[in-house]
Structure 1
Amino acid sequence: MSGGNRAVAYIKPGEVDVRTIDYPTLELKDGPGVARDNVGRVCRHGVILKILATNICGSDQHMVRGRTTAPEGLVLGHEITGEVIERGPDVEFIEVGDIVSVPFNIACGRCRNCKERKTGICLNVNPARPGAAYGYVDMGGWVGGQAEYVMVPYADFNLLRFPDRDAARDKLLDLTMLSDIFPTGYHGAITAGTKVGSTVYVAGAGPVGLAAAAAAQLLGAAVVIVGDLNGERLAQARSFGCETVDLTQGALDEQIAQIVGEPEVDVAVDAVGFEARAHRPDAEEAPATVLNSLMRVVRAGGALGIPGLYVTEDPGGVDQDAKTGTLKVRLGLGWAKSHEFTTGQCPVMKYHRELMMAILHDKVHIAKAVNATVIRLDDAPRGYAEFDQGASRKYVLNPHGALDGVKAA
């Protein structure tokens, strides 16, 4: 197959557009954001996917708001589920016709980090730094998947093949969350030490925060509390059994005490990241707010999972420090309380198979938890605009109609 490929591209701050780009091949060609040393990289180990579902992520919003150095024309999208329609000559185990989930981290499977299951910081896929992703600034320039078709390298290693095509089609709206937000939320919960009986606080009721809350429930938490400034998103958290705190309505520790009887929790997850705001109505941006608040409410000896995105360059930062990712974090408080911190990209492959099994066997309904909402590829600009305004939805793009008529169950 050849021809065009319609895709969502970043144009300028606040604007995306659906454009026709080249149909993918098994070679990474020059284009917006492609690392110079990756141009011409031949991927005999890759496949071409027909995309069945691809999601808008909060990380994409950081770029669209102009909070990164993303170039004009960068094709967006790192949450991809698709059907294999072409495979490279070095692919052994993935077959044409397989329905697969694509981890957002691109990993070679050969380097030291990959062999240690640290696939978020593969050493061989991005000439600029460890780690790569589809459709993301400074992550190697691999073309994004908010499109009709996409190329995936190192297919045998990267792809999670669903064992039954019909079951995958039936659960596609849940399974599309395996590429990023469900493993990312799970990573936040599990690295913070969530276990049976834990009290858990999740900062942020966006899709990753809701996924972290659902993951904490799956892990057996006794109480899961979600905090946010957005009432609609807090209502979504309550819809599947979470307690909530409205951060415009009083001190976090006092509201936690009203729920669990003491002003602290065992476990906390930062699902907000560097665009955090102070905890009050009409609050200004204060990027260290969440990290500092979590250190206050996590018990001594507890831990913080930090899947929320922090960056090394933020052109829209509130001050010169913030523009370089330098935050005023109360590390002394965390040190005094012997806190453990886990940061960085989620290594999706560490978790996605077990989470797939939980979905296929009805142990979790992640699409319902995050309020998955299917829209057409052409409606992506509207989805970005509504998400930016705080809509409590996880927008799922439907390029080929595989999700026609489907709603979260």
Structure 2
Amino acid sequence: MSGNRAVVYTGPGNVEVRNTAYPDLVLKDGPGVNPLNVGRKCDHGVILKVVTTNICGSDQHMVRGRTTAPSGLVLGHEITGEVIEVGRDVEFIKKGDLVSVPFNISCGRCRSCKERNTNVCLNVNPDRPGSAYGYVDMGGWVGGQSEYVMIPYADFQLLKFPDKDQAMEKIRDLTMLSDIFPTGYHGAVSAGVRPGSTVYVAGAGPVGLAAAHSAQLLGAAVVIVGDLNAERLAQAKSFGCETVNLAINGNLGEQIDQILGSPEVDAAIDCVGFEAHGHGKGHSEAPATVLNSIMEVTRAGGSLGIPGLYVTGDPGAIDEDSKIGTLKIRFGLGWAKSHTFVTGQTPVMKYHRELMMSILSGRAQIAKAVNATVISLDEAPQAYKEFDRGVSRKYVIDPHGLVR
């Protein structure tokens, strides 16, 4: 092999499909690569032929120019692929295996990984704990919205599908195991969702829809999804969720009361993150809105799952505090109500095997819930534009035309 093609961030508002280097088992210098990671040998890794790779809402934060991502960064952290080359030190993963790649890069050797906190691996990112493919300030591991990609620590990280033919039949669902499905599920688990719970999900984008479906799988009695986008709310309603349109009526508690007969829920999940808007007509960006509103509508003693992304560097923020991730949060309210907050990257490996089994058994219908839409690699730039306009689709890139 001598070439590769990939989706590349070229500056605020722009991505392009470019010819890039074919991957090898060494992390080389390039846009965003931490100098301490340059030359890192990955004989414990594999090369994948990418079967599917998804566009994520967190990719959009970079493309909008709302992070410090460098031009030339190859995007993509939601990867499913076929192993076509294995490193010298790989023992259990074999050439030809079809695998899901957790978006967290983790070594399997450090204290965090041994305690199943693979979201904050201590060895893969010299800047801080935790890493991901094709993402700003994550060590510089090359993204997977491409034809081929290198994956380190293969024996530890990769989830092998037990039957390739069965997996390809359900690939639209299984491609969600790399991030969105475990992330939504982690949000629901962190919020304490259990049989009979009433749940509020802030945000009807793909992660919010995944969280809503996950709450249903966990036995929630009622799942309410709130958003400012009517098309995305219609998608939530399509698989049995109640919905509240916060662009029409900004009083969240009032709308929940109309559904439940009470203005509070047992559990709430923030699937919006730092680009949140205020509620009501004429709304504008107000990054603490969702965090404050879910404290208001969650009962005393309840829990808040926060898989929505928050950052320490936002050059496009509305004020100087927000540029460094300092938000005006009503922490006293959360304290008074004895709330539990769970934040941070999702430890994908904690959940992906059980969610795979839910998909293969037919129990989980995640592709339907998030409206999975398969596109070619060349269609990715246009898909980014449509996703940014709020279309209710989860775009799945099929770089080799392998998805039926």
Q: TM-score, normalised by structure 1?
A: 0.98
Instruction: Give, as a single letter, the amino acid of the residue that structure 1 aligns with 2:108.
Output: G
> 1:346-357 to 2 correspondence within 5 Å?
346-357=346-357
| Alpha-carbon distance, 1:249 to partner | 2.2
> 1:181-220 to 2 correspondence within 5 Å?
181-220=180-219
| Alpha-carbon distance, 1:25 to partner | 0.1
> 1:31-42 to 2 correspondence within 5 Å?
31-42=30-41
- Which residue is equivalent to 1:407? none
Deviation per residue, 1:97-143 (Å, 9 max, x gap): 00000000000000000000000000000001000100000001000
SS of match in other structure, 1:311: coil
- Which residue is equivalent to 1:267? 267
- C-alpha distance in 2, partners of 1:89/1:282? 58
Instruction: Give, as a single letter, the amino acid of the residue that structure 1 aligns with 2:150.
Output: M
- C-alpha distance in 2, partners of 1:246/1:403? 35
- Which residue is equivalent to 2:389? 389
Instruction: Give, as a single letter, the amino acid of the residue that structure 1 aligns with 2:319.
Output: D
1:166 aligns with 2:168: no
| Alpha-carbon distance, 1:281 to partner | 2.4
Gaps of 5+ in 2: none
| Alpha-carbon distance, 1:403 to partner | 1.3
Deviation per residue, 1:301-357 (Å, 9 max, x gap): 000000000000000000000000000000000000000000000000000000000
| Alpha-carbon distance, 1:402 to partner | 1.3
Instruction: Give, as a single letter, the amino acid of the residue that structure 2 aligns with 1:393.
Output: R
Aligned-residue RMSD, C-alpha: 0.5
- C-alpha distance in 1, partners of 2:170/2:209? 19
- C-alpha distance in 2, partners of 1:208/1:248? 20
- C-alpha distance in 2, partners of 1:285/1:79? 28
> 1:40-189 to 2 correspondence within 5 Å?
40-189=39-188
1:248 aligns with 2:247: yes
Deviation per residue, 1:266-313 (Å, 9 max, x gap): 000000000000001231100000000000000000000000000000
Instruction: Give, as a single letter, the amino acid of the residue that structure 1 aligns with 2:266.
Output: D
Deviation per residue, 1:131-177 (Å, 9 max, x gap): 01000000010000000000000000010000111111111010000
- C-alpha distance in 2, partners of 1:3/1:232? 43
SS of match in other structure, 1:200: strand
| Alpha-carbon distance, 1:84 to partner | 0.2
Give the count of matched residue pairs: 403
SS of match in other structure, 1:305: strand
Instruction: Give, as a single letter, the amino acid of the residue that structure 2 aligns with 1:372.
Output: A
- Which residue is equivalent to 1:28? 27
Identity of aligned residues (%): 74
- C-alpha distance in 2, partners of 1:358/1:282? 41
SS of match in other structure, 2:61: helix
SS of match in other structure, 2:73: coil
- C-alpha distance in 1, partners of 2:365/2:187? 18
> 1:287-326 to 2 correspondence within 5 Å?
287-326=287-326
- C-alpha distance in 2, partners of 1:58/1:352? 20
- C-alpha distance in 1, partners of 2:282/2:137? 32
- Which residue is equivalent to 1:235? 234
- Which residue is equivalent to 2:9? 10
SS of match in other structure, 1:392: coil
For structure 1, which segment, 243-252 or 192-201, has the greater mean C-alpha deviation from structure 2 after superposition?
243-252
Gaps of 5+ in 1: 405-409
Q: TM-score, normalised by structure 2?
A: 0.99
Instruction: Give, as a single letter, the amino acid of the residue that structure 2 aligns with 1:81.
Output: T
- C-alpha distance in 2, partners of 1:271/1:242? 15
SS of match in other structure, 2:325: coil
Instruction: Give, as a single letter, the amino acid of the residue that structure 1 aligns with 2:62.
Output: M
- Which residue is equivalent to 2:366? 366
- C-alpha distance in 2, partners of 1:166/1:380? 26
